[in-house]
C-alpha cells in the first residue's frame, strides 16, 4: 500500500512533546520537556467541576459554549484590557487554544494564501497551516546582543509580506523563547496588518504568566486592530489545568462566525463540566493566579541559576513556562542530538528548539527547559544537570 497520509501532512510525524515525554517515561528521567505543571489548580475550581458532574451537567453544552463562561471571558477582556466583546456573538469556547488556532487558520486562509508567523513557533502552527493548504512565511526571532531578549527585525517582517499574505499569527507571551512583545513591537505588527489588510490571529495563552516588569498587551487594543484580530486564550496555563482543554476566541462577530463554522465540524462541543468550572475561576480565582505567577517567577530563577552553573547560556524569559538555553558553551551544536542523549548523560529530558523553525539550522543550538514543576523536581533536575560539567 502506498503512503495513506495526505501529502500536505507527510512532513509531520509524532510531535516532539510526545517523543520526549515517552523518552522520560522509558528512562526514568525528569521531564522538563513538555510544558505541563505537576500540581493542580485552585481547589474551588476543581470542586466546581466535580459538583457540575454530580448535578447532571454532563451533556452537550451550547455550540458557542455555556453562557456563564462566555460572559466570564467577555468580562475578563473588559476588566483587564478594556476590550468590549458581546458574549452572544463575539466569544466562542473551544477545545483549548490548539483547536481555536486550527479552526481560525482553516476558516480564514484559502489554499495558497500565506500566513506570516514568528519562528520558532509552537509546532501546531506549522501543521494547521499545512492542513489549510496555506503557506508559512516565517520571521525569525533572535536574541539581542544586550540582555539576550529575543525579538524580530521590522524590516524582515515587512519583507515577509507579499500580495498573497492573508494572516499574521502572533504569539505573545511567546513559546518557546519567552518574549513578551512590547508596545513598540506590537505597533510595528499592527502597522503591517493595517497596511496590507491582514487578519491577526493572536495566541495569548500565557497572558497572566509574565515576569519582572513585562506587561502583556493584547494586539487588539492597538488602534484599528480590534476589528481585524482573532484573539485566542485558554484556561490550561492560567489555572494549571492543561488537561481540561478549555479555550476561547474573542473577535468581531463575522470572524467568530467564520471560526465557529469550522470548529463545529472538528469537535462540535466539549468539556461541559470544565466550562462551568473555568467560568467560576475567571470570576473568582485571579488572586490564585497572581500567586502562581510569583511562584513561577521564582522557579524560573531557580532553573536559570542551575542551567548557568551546568554550563548552558540561559536566556531570561519574560513570560511562559520555559527557559531557552544555548548548548554551545557545553561543546554541543545539535540540540536534537543532545536531548536524545540527555537522559543518559544527566537523567533529564528537554525539547530541542530546532523543531520549531522552518530553517532548523537557525535554532540547532537551542534547547527548551520547562520550569512549571515543583521546587524539589527543579532542584533534582539541576543537581543532575551539574553532571554535564
User: DSSP letters along 312-374, please?
Assistant: -EEE--SBSSEEEEE-GGGT---HHHHHHHHHHHHSEE-EEGGGGSSSGGGGTTEEEEE--S-
Interatomic CA distance for residues 159 and 155, integer angstroms: 6
Look at residues 242, 269, 285 and tell me which one is the last residue of a structural domain.
285
Look at residues 225, 258, 285 and tell me which one is the last residue of a structural domain.
285
Same domain? 153 vs 182:
yes
Contact 114, 134 (CB under 8 A): yes
Same domain? 336 vs 325:
yes
Same domain? 242 vs 117:
yes
Residue 356 in domain: yes
Same domain? 243 vs 212:
yes
Same domain? 273 vs 357:
no
DSSP 162: -
Same domain? 175 vs 58:
yes
Residue 280 in domain: yes
Same domain? 90 vs 239:
yes
Same domain? 54 vs 32:
no
Q: Digits of tens for pLDDT over the chain (389 positions)? A: 778 999 999 888 878 888 888 888 899 999 999 889 999 999 999 999 999 999 999 999 999 999 999 999 999 999 999 999 999 999 999 999 999 999 999 999 999 999 999 999 999 999 999 999 999 999 999 999 888 899 999 999 999 999 999 999 999 999 999 999 999 999 999 999 999 999 999 999 999 999 999 999 999 999 999 999 999 999 999 999 999 999 999 999 999 999 999 999 999 999 999 999 999 999 999 999 999 999 999 999 999 999 999 999 999 999 999 999 999 999 999 999 999 999 999 999 999 999 999 988 999 999 999 999 999 999 999 999 998 87
The total number of structural domains in the chain stands at 2
Same domain? 189 vs 223:
yes
Residue 1 in domain: no
Q: How far is CA 63 from CA 17, 88, 188, 300, 304, in A?
A: 30, 11, 36, 39, 43
pLDDT for the residue 308: 97
Same domain? 24 vs 95:
no
Residue 36 in domain: yes
Q: Do the strands 142-143 and 229-234 form a parallel or antiparallel pair, or are they unpaired? A: unpaired
Which CATH number is 229's domain given? 3.40.640.10
Which CATH number is 362's domain given? 3.90.1150.10
Same domain? 314 vs 370:
yes
pTM: 0.96
Structural domain harbouring 329: 7-41+287-388
Look at residues 285, 307, 334 and tell me which one is the last residue of a structural domain.
285
Give 53-59 contacts, CB < 8 A, sequence gap 24+: 53/273, 57/272, 57/273, 57/276, 58/272, 58/273, 59/272
Same domain? 236 vs 344:
no
CA-based nearest residue to 180, from 142, 218, 153, 235:
218
Residue 2 in domain: no
Amino acid at each position: 500500500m502506498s503512503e495513506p497520509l495526505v501529502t500536505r501532512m507527510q512532513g509531520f510525524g509524532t510531535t516532539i512533546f510526545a517523543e520526549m515525554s515517552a523518552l522520560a517515561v522509558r528512562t526514568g528521567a525528569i521531564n522538563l520537556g513538555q510544558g505541563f505543571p505537576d500540581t493542580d489548580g485552585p481547589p474551588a475550581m476543581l470542586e466546581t467541576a466535580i459538583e457540575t458532574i454530580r448535578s447532571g451537567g454532563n451533556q452537550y453544552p451550547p455550540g458557542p459554549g455555556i453562557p456563564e463562561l462566555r460572559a466570564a471571558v467577555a468580562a475578563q477582556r473588559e476588566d483587564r484590557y478594556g476590550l468590549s466583546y458581546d458574549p452572544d456573538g463575539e466569544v466562542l469556547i473551544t477545545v483549548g487554544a490548539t483547536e481555536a488556532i486550527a479552526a481560525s487558520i482553516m476558516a480564514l486562509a484559502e489554499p495558497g494564501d500565506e500566513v506570516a508567523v514568528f519562528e520558532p513557533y509552537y509546532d501546531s502552527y506549522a501543521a494547521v497551516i499545512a492542513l489549510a493548504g496555506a503557506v508559512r512565511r516565517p520571521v525569525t526571532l533572535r536574541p539581542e546582543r544586550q540582555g539576550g531578549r529575543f525579538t524580530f527585525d521590522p524590516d524582515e517582517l515587512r519583507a515577509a509580506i507579499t500580495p498573497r499574505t492573508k494572516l499574521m499569527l502572533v504569539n505573545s507571551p511567546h513559546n518557546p523563547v519567552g518574549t513578551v512583545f512590547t508596545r513598540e513591537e506590537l505597533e510595528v505588527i499592527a502597522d503591517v496588518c493595517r497596511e496590507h489588510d491582514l487578519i491577526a490571529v493572536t495566541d495569548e495563552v500565557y497572558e497572566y504568566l509574565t515576569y519582572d516588569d513585562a506587561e502583556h498587551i493584547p494586539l487588539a487594543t492597538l488602534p484599528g486592530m480590534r476589528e481585524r484580530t482573532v484573539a485566542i486564550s485558554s484556561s490550561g496555563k492560567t489555572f494549571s489545568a492543561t488537561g481540561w482543554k478549555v479555550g476561547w476566541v474573542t473577535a468581531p462577530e463575522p470572524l467568530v462566525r467564520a471560526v465557529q463554522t469550522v470548529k463545529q465540524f472538528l469537535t462540535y462541543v466539549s468539556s461541559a463540566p470544565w466550562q462551568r468550572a473555568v467560568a467560576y475561576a475567571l470570576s473568582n480565582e485571579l488572586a490564585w493566579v497572581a500567586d502562581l505567577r510569583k511562584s513561577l517567577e521564582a522557579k524560573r530563577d531557580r532553573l536559570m541559576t542551575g542551567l548557568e552553573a551546568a554550563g548552558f547560556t540561559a536566556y531570561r524569559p519574560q513570560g511562559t513556562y520555559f527557559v531557552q538555553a544555548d548548548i554551545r558553551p557545553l561543546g554541543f551544536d545539535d540540540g536534537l542530538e543532545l536531548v536524545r542523549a540527555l537522559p543518559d548523560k544527566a537523567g533529564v529530558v528537554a525539547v530541542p528548539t530546532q523543531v520549531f523553525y522552518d530553517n532548523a539550522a537557525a535554532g540547532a543550538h537551542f534547547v527548551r527547559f520547562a520550569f512549571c514543576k515543583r521546587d524539589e523536581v527543579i532542584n533534582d533536575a539541576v543537581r543532575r544537570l551539574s553532571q554535564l560539567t
